[in-house]
Amino acid sequence: MAQENAVDIRDLAFCYNRRPIFRGLSLSLPRGRVVAIMGGSGSGKTTLLRLIGGQLRPQRGEVRVDGQVVHRLSTEELYRLRRRMGMLFQFGALFTDLTVFENVAFPLREHTTLPEPMIRDLVLMKLHAVGLRGARHLMPSELSGGMARRVALARAIALDPMLILYDEPFTGLDPISLGIIGDLIRRLNDALGATSVVVTHDIQESLHIVDYLYLLSDGRVIAQGTPEEIRASSDPYVDQFIHARKDGPVAFHYPAPDYDQDLMGGGA
């Protein structure tokens, strides 16, 4: 029986050495939705993706993907689950010595026993979906930043995953490329019937394409809702984050003694 949520996270605690990242984090990612995970630098967004993918293990709580507790899986079971996930890394992370075609074919050759004619057809289908079928013979060094990101997206969906993870997919893109990637994330998710998790700082693009947002701070969810609910929120942190205000709950100045006294004190 299919689980209602693709991902369920309950009472998650995780720290690097003694530095806490999550302190009882709980959230759910419904099937078929595009969900944004947002928050300031260091709020644990990319760490959350690694916990979902099983690269990291929590100190407390559970991360369930398709009903399975990820950190309790055997190595074989974890690899089997990962074959149902797609990942678009920040800046694409294409194999620089492989052509566009070979980059997209890589997961098909690595995880299936499909014959080469079928792999060829599937690769061309994925490249056509991102508008780059004609670029299949190019090397990554010959691509623009936006094109490289689209090739990485074609590779991420090569195995028709149930869950697609995006780590800062809009970083470094010009406005046209950014709009194209945003549109592809939305359309490909709907076409595949997948669930997409988008870690991003790009507020405006996210509000156009996602179904739901979680805003993280201090190891917890501090705000959540649909794009309309987030836009209408009167929460001071949400207002500061959405409108990029310099001062608010996240102060511009790091805590320090009184300015005049500090100047007169003469100390370093």
Question: What's the number of CA atoms in the CB half-sphere (13 Å) around residue 245?
Answer: 13
Instruction: Tell me the angle at which helices 145-156 and 175-192 cross, rounded to the nearest 10 degrees.
Output: 10
Rounded CA separation 31/134 (Å): 33
Asked if pLDDT for residue 8 goes beyond 90, the answer is yes
Can you spell out the DSSP letters for 12-59?
A: EEEEETTEEEEEEEEEEEETT-EEEEEESTTSSHHHHHHHHHTSS--S
Rounded CA separation 92/88 (Å): 6
Alpha helices by DSSP H, listed for 83-159, are 100-111, 116-129, 145-156
pLDDT at 268: 59
Rounded CA separation 207/226 (Å): 8
174 membership: H or E segment, kind and range: none
pLDDT at 163: 93
Residue that wins the pLDDT comparison between 91 and 157:
157
Predicted TM-score (pTM) of the model is: 0.84
- Nearest CA among 134, 101, 16, 9 for reference residue 63: 9
Distance of CA 53 to the CA centre of its chain: 11
Split at pLDDT 50, 70, 90, the class of 245 is: confident
Rounded CA separation 202/69 (Å): 30
pLDDT at 251: 65
Segment 101-144, tens digit of pLDDT: 999 999 999 888 999 999 999 999 999 999 899 999 999 999 98
Inter-CA distances, 77 with 49, 54, 99, 264, Å = 18, 11, 31, 64
